[in-house]
Structure 1
Amino acid sequence: MALTRMRQIRFTQLLVPPLLWSSSLLAEESPFIHGPEPFTPSSVKPATPWTEALTRLPPPPDEADLIEFRLDGPPTPFRYFIDGRNLSIGPDEVVRYTLIARPGRGTDNLSFEGIRCTPRGRYRVFAYGTDSGWMPVNQDWQALGPGAERYRVELWSQHFCIPRAFKPRPLNDIKRSLQGHIAPHQNSGFLPD
C-alpha cells in the first residue's frame, strides 16, 4: 500500500512540471490576440480634464444693473434678478453671476454662483452676500438634479447654455434671453435623458 502511494506521488512529480511547461508554450503560440487595443479613429484626440479658473468676487450689485427674469411654472415668493454688469463667462466656460432673490417683504438674498453647461448641468455657490460684503463658501460643484433650486435649472436650460452644444451662449445672448428676447432656433431644448 505504501509502495503504491509512493509510486503515485513520484508519477505526479514527474508528470506535472512538463504539463505546466507545455501549457505555457501553447499560450504563447496562440493565434488570438489577447487584450487587443480598441480601434480609435485618428481624428479622436484624448480628452483634457476640465480645470476651474480662479474666481474673484465681484463688487456688490447696483440696482440700475439688475436684470429681472421670471420663472416658468407656479408663482414663487421671490422675484429673481441677475447683476448684468458682473455677469461673465470664464475661460473655463463657467457662467458666473450675482443672483438677487427678492422676497415680497424683507431683505434681499444675495449670492455669487456659477453654472457649467454640462449635459445635466452643474452649479456652485462661491459666496453669499452680507451687509459687510461677501462671505465665501467652500462648496464643490453640485448636480442640477431634482432637488436643485428651480431658478438654477431654468438659468442652465433656458438662458445660459446653448441647447445640445453644452457650452455657454455669448454674453449678449444671455442678457437678451434673461430679458425675454431670444432667437427661436436657439431655444430648442436639451437632449432627453
Structure 2
Amino acid sequence: MMKDLRRLSLPILAGLGLAMPVSSAENAFVTDAEPPVPSSVQAGTPWKEADTPLPPWPRDADLVELVPDGPDSALRYFIDSANLRVGSDDVVRYTLVAEGRGGTRNLSVEGIRCTPKGAYKTYAYGAGERFVPIDSEEWLPLPAHDGERWRHDLWRFHFCIPQAFAPRPKIDMVRSLEGRISPRQNMGFLPD
C-alpha cells in the first residue's frame, strides 16, 4: 500500500513543479493592462446643484392637495403649484405645506432628484410667514415607509417620468397632483 502511495505522489509532485511561475521574459501573456474604458469614451460633466433663491410664502389659492398612497395620515399635505419649479440642474423644487387636524401648518422648501432611487433635500422651513434657510449639503434617500411616504409618492407618481429618470413638465406635475393624469400614464407605459 505504501508503494502505491509513493507512485501516486511522484506524478502529483511533478505536476506541482510545472505550476511554478516562469520568469517574465518567458511569460506568453500580455502583462500590460488595457484601460477599463475605450479611449473614444470621454468623461461626462459631473452633476452640480444650481443655486436657487427661496420662493415667496405660498397663497392658499395656489395649494394643491397631495393625497399619499397608503393608510390615512393625521396630516394633510399641499404643494404650492405657483412656485413648483424644475431647476437647470433638473431638481424639482417645491414648497410643502403639512396641515394638522387643528389647522396648524408646517412649511418646508424641498427638492427632489429624479434619479433611479430618488433623493431629497430640505432647503428651508417656514416660520412667521417667511422661510428660514438651513445648512444642508447632503441629499438623502427617499423614505418608502409610511411616516414620510409622501416624498416617495411625489418622486414616483407626480414629479418624475417613470423609467426616464427626468422631471415631468410643470403642467403635468400639477395635473398629476390634481388627479387629472390617468394611473396608466404614471406607470411608464404608453397610453392606449
Structure 2 equivalent of residue 117 of structure 1: 114
Scaled by the length of structure 2, what TM-score is found? 0.78
SS at match of 1:85: helix
Q: What corresponds to 2:18 in structure 1? A: none
Provide structure 2 residue ranges, at least 5 long, that are not aligned to the other structure.
Answer: 1-20
- Whether 2:165 is the aligned partner of 1:159: answer no
Q: 1-side partners of 2:175 and 2:28: how far apart?
A: 64
**1:127 matches 2:101:** no
**Unpaired segments of 5 or more residues in structure 1?**
1-22
More off after superposition, 28-37 vs 61-70: 28-37
Instruction: Please tell me the root mean square deviation across aligned C-alpha atoms, in Å.
Output: 2.4
Which residue of structure 1 aligns with residue 9 of structure 2? none
Structure 2 CA distance for aligned equivalents of residues 49 and 102 of structure 1: 38
Q: Which of these residues, 71, 75, 81, is aligned with residue 74 of structure 1?
A: 71
Match of 1:94 in 2: 91
- 1:81-115 deviations in Å (ceiling 9; x for gaps): 11111000000000000000111104211000000
Q: How do 1:4-153 residues align onto structure 2 when only pairs under 5 Å count?
A: 26-27=23-24, 30-34=27-31, 35-38=33-36, 40=38, 42=40, 44-139=41-136, 140-146=138-144, 149-153=148-152
Q: Distance in 2 between matches of 1:132 and 1:28?
A: 78
Q: Is the 8 A contact 1:122 1:143 kept in 2?
A: yes
CA positional deviation for 1:66: 0.8
Distance verdict in 2 for CA 1:132–1:66, change over 3 Å: closer
Matched AA of 1:152: R
1:184 is displaced (CA, Å) by: 4.7
**Structure number, greater radius of gyration:** 1
Are the counterparts in 2 of residues 79 and 103 from structure 1 also a CA contact under 8 Å? yes
Which range moves more in the overlay, 133-142 or 93-102? 133-142
Which residue does 2:16 correspond to in 1? none
Q: Contact between 2:121 and 2:139, CA under 8 Å: does it hold in 1?
A: yes
SS, match of residue 111 in structure 1? strand
Checking the alignment, whether the CA contact within 8 Å between 1:157 and 1:189 is kept in structure 2 is no
